[in-house]
Amino acid sequence: MKKQHSLIIGGTRGTGRALAKLFAANGHVVSVIGRRAPAESDKGIPNIRHWVVDLLDKAQLEATLSEILQTNGKLNSLTFLQRYRGQDDNWAGEIETSLTATKQIIERLTNEFDDNGAIVLVSSIIGQFVVPGQPVSYHVAKAAIDHMVRYYAVTLGPKGIRVNGVSPASIIKEESREFYLKNEKLLDLFKKIVPLGRIGTAEEVAQVIAFLCSPQASLVTGQNLVADGGMTLASQESLARQISSL
């Protein structure tokens, strides 16, 4: 039986890294595109191959996508987790990285899926809320990703391709684990205000993505699953009252 081929855009750190390991452990052939080389500990993991690509270099991106298809065959799933890492509020950089590259890749690969393909765009609760400290370009890009999910779910549905989104809140990633472990007061606050009583992890978000890519979600398309432990369900007023009483 042919192995599942999963392509991850932005898979060398954070949730993308956790997803690559999860897919590989489940026997997928995993192709990862990232802006940097993987960590030394990730090199040589069975079933995972990395390509270092500048998503804004259209010629390099096209050549890499062609090489990936030649190497590992048609796709079963495609996941987007990339984000712009430049300085300040670089509107053009954010839009090009988060939106234009996503559009280019999806439309390049539309006819490169096996039957019942799945696409997942990882967004953020910032697509619905305003978070001070993040620039307007980041907010707008995340909101646009949420609508791209609906657009491509409608237009690619006749091809048998499902398109869904996942919107995490704050999560513990391998790269941020030490920060949270040293901030017990912050973790304790999350325990008090999050309905599930804790902050989530990159591995848990990866599990949500894997579900949306699996046959178990065969009738699910055009949806945005919020993976936040219920953090965004309570009103600001109730949270303010709760925090003030701590």
Query: What is d(CA 118, CA 4) in angstroms, rounded to the nearest whole number?
Result: 11
- Cα–Cα distance measured from residue 59 to residue 23, given in angstroms and rounded to the nearest whole number: 28
Q: Is 138 a catalytic residue?
A: yes
Q: Residue 139 CB: number of other CB atoms within 10 A? A: 18
Determine whether 95 is exposed, middle or buried from the number of CB atoms within 10 Å of its CB (0-12, 13-18, 19+). Answer: middle
**Amino acid symbol at 211:** F
Burial (Cβ within 10 Å: 0-12, 13-18, ≥19) of residue 205: buried
Rg (CA), the chain: 18
Catalytic choice (84, 138, 151, 152): 138
Strand order of the β-sheet with 5-9 is 48-52, 29-34, 5-9, 75-80, 113-122, 162-168, 224-227
Identify whether the C-beta of residue 115 lies closer than 8 Å to the C-beta of residue 75.
Answer: no
Catalytic site positions: 138
